[in-house]
Homo-oligomer: A and B are copies of this chain.
Amino acid sequence: MSDPGTTLAAWHATVWAMLAAGVRDARAPARLPVLATVGVDGWPQARMVVLRAADAVAGVVEVHTDVLSPKVADLRTTPRAALQVWDAGGRLQIRLRCAVRVLTGAAVQGQWGRVPDLSRLAYGAVPPPGAPVPGPGDYGTEPGPGRFAVLRCEVMAMDVLHLGTPHRRAGFDRADGWRGQWLVP
Contact = CB atoms under 8 A, between A and B. Distances in A.
- For chain A, give the interface size range: 35 or more
Contact of A44 (B82, B125, B184): B82
Contacts of A34: 34, 36, 46, 84, 86
Contact of A46 (B36, B131, B170): B36
Contact of A125 (B93, B127, B181, B184): B184
A130 B183 contact: yes
A132 interface: yes
Contacts of A37: 44
A43 B84 CA distance: 14
Contacts of A48: 84, 86, 93
A47 interface: yes
B83 A133 contact: no
A137 interface: yes
B43 A97 contact: yes
B36 A129 contact: no
Contacts of A93: 47-48
A113 interface: no
A110 interface: no
17 contacts: A32-B86, A34-B36, A34-B84, A36-B82, A38-B42, A38-B44, A43-B80, A43-B82, A43-B97, A44-B78, A44-B80, A130-B183, A132-B181, A133-B182, A136-B166, A136-B169, A136-B170
Interface of A: 6, 32, 34, 36-38, 42-48, 78, 80-84, 86, 93, 95, 97, 125, 127-139, 166, 168-171, 181-185
